[in-house]
Amino acid sequence: MTKQTDNNLICCPEFKPELWDDKILEWHNKKFIKDSVFTIFFMPVNFGAVMRRIDNKVRKADASTPDFLCLADHVSRWKMDVYLAVDKDIPNANNIVLSGKFFSKVYEGPFKDTGKWCKDFENEAKLKGFTVNKWFMWYTTCPKCAKKYGKNYVAIISQVE
């Protein structure tokens, strides 16, 4: 956590949407660690605890998290897998790699707009000639930091063909 002032704690870095909006990403064995969050109708229940657990593993391994990238895969109404980008393999973690072409688009607003964002994302991908495969949500800041920054950015990132 970065302490800016005694009254203004910031735990999430400020997100730069221009780096991720309407971009094609080529990943070659991009490293992540994967964990799961319990959800109720897609709303995370133990997200903070899971993030603390994987953050502790990253810190113990003296690793870093490039771009603070953490992807969410809403597997079902009851489970969300999270993929935290790391710069090296992490002991005692579920290490995975992602490779391929990914399309990224950034949205801003309340989470209730997620359905609209997803439809827009699918349309944008189709207009670009992409077939959307596995896709992820990147909730770029926690709710407290989104309030402090005045923006709630969410990036949708999908592997595409």
Going residue by residue through the chain (161 aa), what tens digit of pLDDT does each one get?
Answer: 333 443 455 588 999 999 999 999 999 999 999 999 999 988 889 998 999 999 999 999 999 999 999 999 999 999 999 999 999 999 999 999 999 999 999 999 998 999 999 999 999 999 999 999 999 999 999 888 999 999 999 999 999 98
pLDDT value, residue 109: 95
pLDDT value, residue 142: 86
pLDDT value, residue 10: 59
Look-up: residue for tokens 């780096």?
Answer: 19
What are the chain's domains? 27-99 (3.30.70), 102-134+145-161 (no CATH)
pLDDT value, residue 7: 46
pTM above 0.75, yes or no: yes
Asked if residues 46 and 78 have their Cβ atoms less than 8 Å apart, the reply is no
pLDDT value, residue 151: 95
pLDDT value, residue 9: 56
pLDDT value, residue 50: 95
pLDDT value, residue 83: 97
DSSP calls for the chain: -EEEETTEEE-SPPP-GGGTTTEEEEEEEEEEEEEEEEEETTEESSHHHHHHHHHHHHHHTT---GGG-EEEEEEETTEEEEEEE-SS--TTSEEEEEEEEEEEEEEES-GGGHHHHHHHHHHHHHHTTPPEEEEEEEE-S-HHHHHHHT--EEEEEEEE-
